[in-house]
Amino acid sequence: MARRSAPEVNAGSMADIAFLLLIFFLVTTTIDTDRGISRKLPPPLDETIEPPILKQKNIFVVELNKNNDLLVEEEPMELKDLRAAAVAFLDNGGGTGDEACNYCKGEKSSSSSDNPEKAVISLRNNRETSYATYIAVQNELVAAYTELRNREAESLFGKTFTQMKEDLKDVNYSGSKERLKDDIKKVQLMYPEKLSEAEPKK
Amino acid sequence: MSKFKKKKGSELPAISTASLPDIVFMLLFFFMVATVMRENNLKIENKLPVADQIEKLDKKNLVMYIYAGKPSSRYAASAGTQARIQLNDKFAEVSDIKSFVLAERAAKREEEVPFLITALKVDGDTNMGLVGDIKKELRDVQALKINYTTRQGEATQNLK
């Protein structure tokens, strides 16, 4: 047979392929977002309001000196032990009667906090403390709260607190978001984040 | 014989370039979407500390950034070696933060203002004194939602 010139390749579908690729990349690429520890600052002080009086045993003093040494309740401590110490303090539940804490699993020591609602962590730093150390300590303290919240959320709702928060952001979450929000609030109230920061010392 | 003559004209046909624009546009779109525009030219060193209890900062338009750290070597001569604050593209003083926050607020729609978050991008070696001053200013202007921007990792990496 006679050979004809090769027919031109039909390029009409090329655009479709291109768009397919485009959409594929659009979907798979995550634009990197900033991440960090979210905190809420206390509102400016109102001079007229008397600060509430706290019992000494309900305060967990964490101090950072200018050499980046960690002092917890006036005892030196390694950073890796801080989380466990904070958990032990928050979860102590040493109160009796009205102040008893029925979900705490701590030692119920009378010299530590009454219940998580009363327990305050006081973080004090020096002006010379390095920011990296401060963040490390903040991170451990937040982790202590998260650990306790995870535990309670697990026993109440069968999933961790972190998972609940993720679900809240997830658009494909099947359950009711309103209920999820209430549940998160409930867990948060069991272990309210009471992290006070004193003015840094000179 | 005409049968063989025909072969002369059967060179390879030119490859169609009709789809080239599509490919180019595809690349263009891809880069347009995936590129994060650098809003600020950093004039300071900004090696963020690491943490693992972190949250994502979605909604980029609701975030204002405050940078702090030692001026990078290019600017050390003019700005000194002490840690400084950078707002937008300029070195700033602690007292400039208030007006910066107010300006950022004014640029947003009114209903968005309560959701504004201040992201503190502070170099790990900075002293807490400066950070404390920044936080005090933020409290004074009621910009209470803050986020210490960090990298992801174990907290113990911060202590070398």
- Residue A90: which of A159, A82, A69 has the closest Cα? A82
Q: For A56-88, what is each residue's pLDDT tens digit?
A: 888 888 888 888 888 888 888 888 888 888 888
Q: Say if CB A66 and CB A126 are below 8 A apart.
A: yes
Could you give the residue ranges of the DSSP H alpha helices within chain B?
2-5, 20-34, 76-79, 96-107, 128-140
Q: Any residues with CB less than 8 A from the CB of A30 and at least 6 apart, and which?
A: none
Question: What's the mean pLDDT in A1-24?
Answer: 69
Residue A54 pLDDT exceeds 60? yes
Stretch among A2-6, A188-192, B127-131 having the lowest mean pLDDT: A2-6
Half-sphere exposure of A133 (CA within 13 A, CB side): 26
**What is the CA angle A65-A71-A75, rounded to 5?**
140
Neighbour-count burial for B78-106, b at 16+ CB within 10 Å, e otherwise: ebeeebbbbbeeebbeeeebeebbeebbe
Interface residue of B37, B53, B116, B159 to substitute, partner A, most A CBs within 10 Å: B53
The strands making up A195-197's β-sheet, listed across from edge to edge, are A75-76, A70-72, A59-64, A120-125, A195-197
Residues in chain B with pLDDT < 50?
none
Worst-scoring range by mean pLDDT, A117-121, A166-170, B36-40? B36-40
**Would you say B68 and B130 are in contact if contact means Cβ atoms under 8 Å apart?**
yes
Answer whether residue A38 shows pLDDT above 60.
Answer: yes
Cβ contact A127–B19 (<8 Å): no
**pTM beyond 0.80:** no
Helix and strand counts by DSSP (H, E) for chain A: 5, 6
CA dist., res. A186 & res. A136, Å (int)? 28
Residue in B134, B116, B114, B127 with CA at minimum distance from that of residue B82: B127
User: How confident is the model over A118-142, as a mean pLDDT?
Assistant: 87
Residue A141 has pLDDT above 80, yes or no: yes
Q: How many CB atoms lie within 10 A of CB B136?
A: 15
User: How far apart (Å, rounded) are the C-alpha atoms in residues B136 and B66?
Assistant: 14
- When CB atoms are compared, the residue of A34, A126, A131 closest to B49 is A131
- The pLDDT, as a whole number, for residue A15 is 67
What is the rounded average pLDDT of the residues A135-143?
88
Size of interface A-B (CB pairs under 8 A): 184
Within 8 A of B120 by CB-CB distance, chain A residues are: 36
Q: Hey, how many other C-beta atoms are within 10 angstroms of the C-beta on A69?
A: 13
Predicted local confidence at residue A32, as pLDDT: 61
Q: Is the pLDDT of residue A202 over 70?
A: no
